[in-house]
Amino acid sequence: MKYVSDFKWKKGIKVHEMVEYLGEVGFQSIELKKASDVIVKMKKNSAKIFLTFTSNMVTSGLRGFFAQLIELGIADVIVTTVGGIEEDIMKATGEKFAIGNFDSDDVELHEQGVNRVGNLFINNESYMNFEDRVMPMLDKLYKEQKRWAVSEMLRKIGLMLKDKNSILYQAAKNDVPIFCPAITDGSFGFHLYLFQQKHPDFIVDVVKDFGNILYTTSHDEKKGVIALGGSISKHHAILCTLLHGGAEYAIYMTTAHKTSGSMSGATTDEAKSWGKVKDDSDVATVIGDVTIMFPLAMIKALEQLSKEGLLK
């Protein structure tokens, strides 16, 4: 049996050391360390790793970290929401998001043409610039072919970007598919609609892409899920694992709670009742802000994987 240990600062403490010590402090700190350990197990046992996240995490500075993880070979399949796609393109083409605060005057922000995501600000101008940049991309796609599965379209767009901190670029470069089942749920979806009004034979095939994600893995392959936040991105990945016998490894990080009955709050244990996660799987559910919890857990895992030569 393990016992609670007092956490103390020491000069020069490293992130991976701190997370290790937190594993004996209590409450969510124990789950945080467990999550880091499960990430290592996924990679060491050659699991197909599904990394899912919601768009607000791309709004934040985690966007570059996700791109780096793809480059390092951590993620094999990405599932996200359309806001994450459009904001990755925005940042890759020069847009910058400002740091504000949670208690801003939102009526005043609206009058100034500023959109608030928590304590981050996005100018309306960024969306106008996005339209100017994405329409030529759609023109290129249309000239190449008229019908696109979503992940195939996103791969082509990724190859058009030249930003090493771009999720789309790194995914395309490293042959990691990105799935976005709700591709119309945002600005990008609106521009797809407008483009289709001019070109009625331009089709974005969401159903075909469901087949594509199913073919990314199999019953025989070990599967791991790192779900950051909830929403359709989380469910799309674990539905895929369900249809292939369940995942052997799963990490959920969220601010939602299980008492809501929501997908965002559903724990890794609840997933076992559906068969999305195997009964004997290695799992961890961390309740907390992903912008804090995920870098801590992942950096500790990266240090260990790097030491063992398991990174690209």
**Active site amino acids:** 276
Contacts of 109 (CB under 8 A, 6+ apart): 115, 116, 121
Closest CA to 226 of 72, 36, 29: 36
Q: Where would I find the H helices in 46-149?
A: 55-59, 62-71, 82-92, 106-111, 124-144
Sheet holding 178-179, edge to edge: 178-179, 77-80, 48-53, 223-228, 247-254, 277-287
Q: Are the beta carbons of 252 and 227 closer than 8 angstroms?
A: yes
Dihedral (CA of 8, 294, 57, 85) sign: positive
